[in-house]
């Protein structure tokens, strides 16, 4: 088994977990796997608020680290909701254009809580354009690709 890129990916994994903690989330699953065919490691960190009764995590951060240690960005997957992510996938504002540099990943997680607070007062608002992120509920406009 090779350790190619293991130390940089472990550093990134700790950094992603720290970003979650700084935003008041508890880091959950942490995955660090080598994809030999791509000469990269995939690093995944999930997180949820301290009081979270759902099986699915509230937030998933994913990044690819080359075996030489390079990382181009972080993919953020989350919805602005305290409800079960699987139950609100079509109704809760979800972060769009969410492949970002590590330096601004924390901003998206902070915006998530701001949107949850805003929706408590204004549940009909489903689109939030907070630079550099767009949060929008897929709603009825979402179409499946035809096969």
Q: Is the peptide bond before 56 cis (omega within 30 degrees of 0)?
A: no
> What pLDDT does 102 receive?
84
Nearest-CA neighbor of 67 among 10, 5, 3, 2? 5
Q: Match 């901003």 to its residue by tokens.
A: 107
% residues pLDDT > 90 (the chain) = 38
Q: What's the confidence (pLDDT) of residue 4?
A: 59
Q: Is the pLDDT of residue 143 over 60?
A: no
Domain 6-141 CATH class label: alpha beta
- 142 has a pLDDT exceeding 90: no
Our CA dihedral for 6, 14, 47, 68, rounded to 10 degrees, sits at -30
pLDDT per residue as tens digits for the range 68-115: 888 888 999 988 888 988 888 788 888 887 888 888 888 889 999 899
Please report, for residues 16, 90, 93, 94, 134, the alpha-carbon distance to residue 126 in angstroms, rounded to integers and kept in the order given: 27, 11, 6, 9, 11
Listed by start position, the domains of the chain span 6-141
Does the structure show a pLDDT above 70 at 140? no
């Amino acid at each position: 088994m090779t350790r190619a890129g293991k130390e940089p990916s472990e550093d990134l994994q700790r950094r992603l977990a720290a970003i979650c903690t700084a935003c008041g989330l508890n880091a959950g699953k942490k995955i660090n796997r080598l994809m030999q065919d791509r000469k990269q490691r995939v690093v995944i960190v999930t997180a949820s608020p301290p009081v979270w009764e759902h099986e699915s995590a509230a937030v998933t951060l994913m990044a690819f680290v080359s075996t030489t240690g390079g990382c181009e960005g972080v993919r953020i997957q989350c919805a602005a909701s305290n409800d079960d992510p699987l139950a609100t996938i079509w109704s809760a504002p979800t972060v769009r254009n969410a492949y970002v540099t590590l330096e601004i990943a924390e901003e998206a997680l902070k915006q998530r809580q701001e949107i949850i607070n805003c929706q408590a007062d204004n549940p009909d608002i489903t689109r939030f354009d907070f630079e550099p992120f767009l949060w929008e509920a897929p709603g009825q406009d979402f179409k499946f690709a035809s096969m």
